[in-house]
Chains A and B, each alone.
Chain A
Amino acid sequence: MSTAATLDKPSSAPEGAKGTASPYITVTFRIRRFNPEVSDESTWQDFQVEIDPKERVLDGLHKIKWDMDGSLTFRRSCAHGICGSDAMRINGRNRLACKTLIKDLNPDKPITVEPIKGLTVLKDLVVDMEPFFQAYRDVMPFLITKGNEPTRERRQSAADRERFDDTTKCILCAACTSSCPVFWNDGQYFGPAAIVNAHRFIFDSRDEAGEQRLEILNDKDGVWRCRTTFNCTEACPRGIEITKAIQEVKRALITRRF
């Protein structure tokens, strides 16, 4: 089933429209809807949205929710790519709705928006994040040290600090894990995000539990499941070189040097 709703007029005064042609265009949002309170089946629903191509997909979703259909449900908070709330499948690729501009999507065709895959859909674009966070917690994502604490800060050279910089950027949005075919087939796999966060500690010169974390990832559901498809790296909105990080963990498991 596909229904269409139209918005009579743009929700807010078209900015920058003074005297010049309106920057607004009409775009079709084709959204995967699911609400078990109503039906066990999910359906596609189309919405025609007036939008400035410089706006974000998130702005489009807000226009729909605020002015057409209040029941459309998705998570969001910061609206600029730092809180990790709004990973979704947009035109078949995992991205953050707040970091994806309409103009980068070919507005002539409908923009499809679906929940990320591999996690149970709870309503519309909202999925159950608990298994994702559980995998994260399972890799002991916290600094572990031995001996007495120093009175001042621990010293760390700028080079040692740089060693794990890339993997500190993770915002736990799940775009990577939910783009991974291994994870789709077997939810037991830790998934790239958990490995990224293990990497962040394994390669931190201050940490002393690298061996333990490596053992966790040596498990049958650990790093060896990775088939290097690079989906995760392409999906990561923070530009983290995830596949490289996973390779580094694999190498550390073989050489036991990190």
Chain B
Amino acid sequence: MQIHKYDTVIVGAGGAGMRAAIEATKRSRTAVLTKLYPTRSHTGAAQGGMAAALANVEEDNWEWHTFDTVKGGDYLVDQDAAEILAKEAIDSVLDLEKMGLPFNRTPDGTIDQRRFGGHSRNHGEAPVRRSCYAADRTGHMILQTLYQNCVKEGVEFFNEFYVLDQLITEVDGVKKSAGVVAYELATGEIHIFQAKAVIYASGGCGKFFKVTSNAHTLTGDGQAAVYRRGLPLEDMEFFQFHPTGIWRMGILLTEGARGEGGILRNKDGERFMEKYAPVMKDLASRDVVSRSIYTEIREGRGCGPEGDHVYLDLTHLPPEQLDAKLPDITEFARTYLGIEPYTDPIPIQPTAHYAMGGIPTNVEGEVLADNTTVVPGLYAAGEVACVSVHGANRLGTNSLLDINVFGRRAGIAAAEYSAKADFVELPENPAELVVKQVEQLRESTGNERVAELRRELQETMDANVMVFRTEQTIKTAVEKIAELRARYKNVAIQDKGKRFNTDLLEAIELGNLLDLAEVMAVSALARKESRGGHYREDFPNRDDVNFMRHTMAYREVDADGSESIRLDYKPVVQTRYQPMERKY
């Protein structure tokens, strides 16, 4: 077992992790631990764009952007954080341009902008062009540009290191972060990283759904690591279902396709969004569009022999426009569906896309141990975190923004903290939990298989806690997850080796997904209202009296070792905007 000492350790090398690393490396001795090579991170999959009120192509300002973010999040957004997001958006896009990001350009050479769902002029009057983009591979360009700048700054990476545990030491009654425990894929060796500050930037957890736009590796390892150590997770019931995933596969077709003029149609060819969102139509907020699609399907207007999807129609757009603005997604349709988008509509269905909830932080990226107390030395940013700028539903293009704004903030805050702070003593036997976990899996002779449990988990999640939820369906999911968690104790792997044992790591990742799925379902059961991405058919209205508050879920362990989830609630920060009914 090796012990390393760094001022700042960053867990994850996606957009948030690398943006943080660029700042932290300049200010402190920093290591980035990442289970994937940095350029493999799922930020690279983002297509549509990054929001900022640059006003390059039409009138716009950050206050309108703040309003749209708050409204889009169904008023569960912390408005102080949303204001920071919208204000700092402008510099964060300009910073990326200066770092070399090749944005698409306007005729006069400035950064071009396009429309995106939920972004409007003057508080909902009409769609506005706010999304800065690089064709339909904005995320790819962000990831590449940030990696390039990490190379330039000499950022130190530990590639294919899986962080599996968070170390916490109590000093004078205060829980402080002491470091992390990581597993090295190549050798099977366990490493302790003692650090003054740790930043989690380990991304989302969408893999507990079956139809999802998320990568196989998005298994919520960071959320699970801190949750297991008694820290809360916020608003986990809020998950975004993106309207346009490739039918059955879940591969995303960016909202930019509708921004460019694409239209959703049912089996009668009807542009059905006109009924549900007369002003914004196909560009209404994602939760609204996803529900509308399923309403069409349920009412028998879905397409195909089983009526289980609708069409994204791009056929009226000039081929040159598709080639210039949407080259990647049109290629996905050709590669994976054998469909020519110039002439044929593309079958789509909503796909599990984005975790609004996560590790609660304040606007400096400091992780919260409860509603107000920060954990000294512990930070989080990006999809793993919940600031909360996305509330109950994230607006398109606000996440690439989030990872840049709050990745930067967390990087600066953590490095400034580690410049002043001392190392916290490591707990006794710091690797204990991970060693036990790994040994148990390697030695298990149980009869349960990882793939089977994961399949059953994904199926129950898709069936019961997706776009439409009721008490009944959520309870079904809760029971099923409990069963799977029990069976997980008997899981066995076939690869007993040390070298590149991905069999072992998939088992560990499944354990994380099971923990988080349970938190999601239990949080969803308690929220007896509908808000943003969380839609309860048995409580179809938003209930501001009882539920204008964030869920905080804690893992409790009784004396006899039995586990349970305790729910608490945290007030929403409201500044300028009073809750209104959300219409598009």
A-side residues, CB < 8 A to B, are: 11-12, 15, 18, 35-38, 54, 65-67, 69-71, 73-85, 99, 101, 122-124, 126, 129, 133, 137, 141-143, 149, 152-158, 161, 164-165, 168-172, 201, 204, 206-207
Q: Are B450 and A168 in contact (CB under 8 A)?
A: no
Residues of chain B within 8 A of A207, CB atoms compared: 100
Sort A-B residue pairs by CB-CB distance and give the 7 closest, nearest first: A143-B100, A66-B451, A70-B494, A155-B109, A71-B495, A70-B503, A142-B148
In the complex the two chains form, is B450's CB within 8 Å of A206's CB?
A: no
Interface residue? B566 (CB, 8 A): no
Q: How far is the CA of A165 from the CA of B248 in the complex (A)?
A: 32
A174 to chain B, nearest CB (A): 11
Binary contact track B521-545/A, C-beta < 8 Å → 1, others 0? 0000000000000000000000000
One of B36-44, B422-430, B464-472 contacting the partner: B36-44
Which of B91-99, B291-299, B374-382, B553-561 lines the interface with chain A? B91-99
Q: Which residue of B lies closest to A158 (CB)?
A: B105
Chain A residues with CB under 8 Å of B93's CB are: 153
Assess the A143–B148 pair: CB atoms within 8 A: yes
Question: How many contacting A-B pairs (Cβ < 8 A)?
Answer: 152
With a CB–CB cut-off of 8 A, which chain B residues contact A38? 497
The complex places the Cα of A76 from the Cα of B40 at a distance, in Å, of: 9
Q: How far is the CA of A99 from the CA of B328 in the complex (A)?
A: 13
Residue of A nearest to B252 (CB): A80
Are B94 and A152 within 8 A (Cβ)? yes
Contact A80–B336 (Cβ < 8 Å)? yes
B306 neighbours in A (Cβ, 8 Å): 18
The CA-CA distance from A77 to B38 in the complex, in Å, is: 12
Q: Do residues B151 and A35 form an inter-chain contact, with CB atoms below 8 A?
A: no
Bound Cα distance from A72 to B148, whole angstroms: 32
Contact A83 B44 (CB under 8 A): yes
Q: Is B455 an interface residue (CB 8 A)?
A: yes
- The reply to whether B36 and A85 contact each other, CB–CB distance below 8 Å, is yes
Contacts of A78 in B (CB 8 A): 40, 42, 44-45, 215-216
Once the chains bind, are B451 and A37 in contact (CB under 8 Å)?
no
Query: Could you list 24 examples of A-B contacts with CB < 8 Å?
Result: A35-B497, A37-B498, A37-B499, A54-B338, A65-B502, A66-B451, A70-B450, A71-B494, A77-B41, A77-B215, A77-B217, A80-B336, A84-B39, A124-B500, A141-B151, A142-B148, A149-B98, A153-B98, A153-B103, A153-B110, A158-B106, A161-B102, A161-B104, A171-B39
With beta carbons under 8 angstroms apart, the residue of B45, B217, B249, B501 that contacts A82 is B45
A-side contacts of B140, CB under 8 Å: 82, 169, 171
In the complex, what residues of A have CB within 8 A of residue B44's CB?
Answer: 78, 82-83, 171
Chain B residues with CB under 8 Å of A124's CB are 500
- A161 and B105 contact, CB distance less than 8 A: yes
A182 to chain B, nearest CB (A): 24
> In the complex, are the beta carbons of A70 and B500 less than 8 A apart?
no
* B interface secondary structure, majority: loop
By CB atoms of chain B within 10 A, which of A67, A126, A170 has the most? A126
- State the majority secondary structure of interface residues on A: loop
B: residues with CB less than 8 A from A are 36-37, 39-42, 44-45, 93-94, 97-100, 102-111, 134-135, 137, 140-141, 144, 148-149, 151-152, 186, 215-217, 248-249, 251, 306, 328, 332, 335-336, 338, 449-451, 455, 493-495, 497-503
Closest to A159 in B: B105
A101 touches B335 (CB 8 A): yes
Interchain CB contact under 8 A, A83 and B42: yes
Bound: A12/B459 CA distance, A: 11
Q: Which residues of B contact A154 (CB under 8 A)?
A: 97-98
Are B499 and A36 neighbours in the complex by a CB distance under 8 Å? yes
Question: With A70-B495, A80-B332, A168-B141 as given contacts, are A156 and B109 in contact (CB-CB < 8 Å)?
Answer: yes
Contact call B98/A73, Cβ cutoff below 8 A: no
Compute how far the CA of A79 lies from the CA of B103 in the bound complex, rounded to whole angstroms: 26
Give, as a whole number of angstroms, the nearest-CB distance from A66 to chain B. Answer: 3
Find chain B residues with CB under 8 A from A204 CB: 100, 102
Contacts of B497 in A (CB 8 A): 35, 37-38, 71
In the complex, what's the smallest C-beta–C-beta distance from B350 to chain A, in angstroms?
Answer: 17
A58 shortest CB reach to chain B, Å:
9
**Closest B residue, CB atoms, query A80:** B251
A169 B494 Cβ-Cβ under 8 A: no
**Minimum Cβ distance to chain B for residue A191 (Å):** 16
Residue of B whose beta carbon sits closest to that of A137: B151
Most central of A80, A99, A201 by chain B CB within 10 Å: A80
- The winner among A67, A142, A154, A171 for most chain B CB atoms within 10 A is A142
Give chain A residues whose Cβ lies under 8 Å from the Cβ of B135.
Answer: 165
B150 closest partner in A (C-beta) = A142
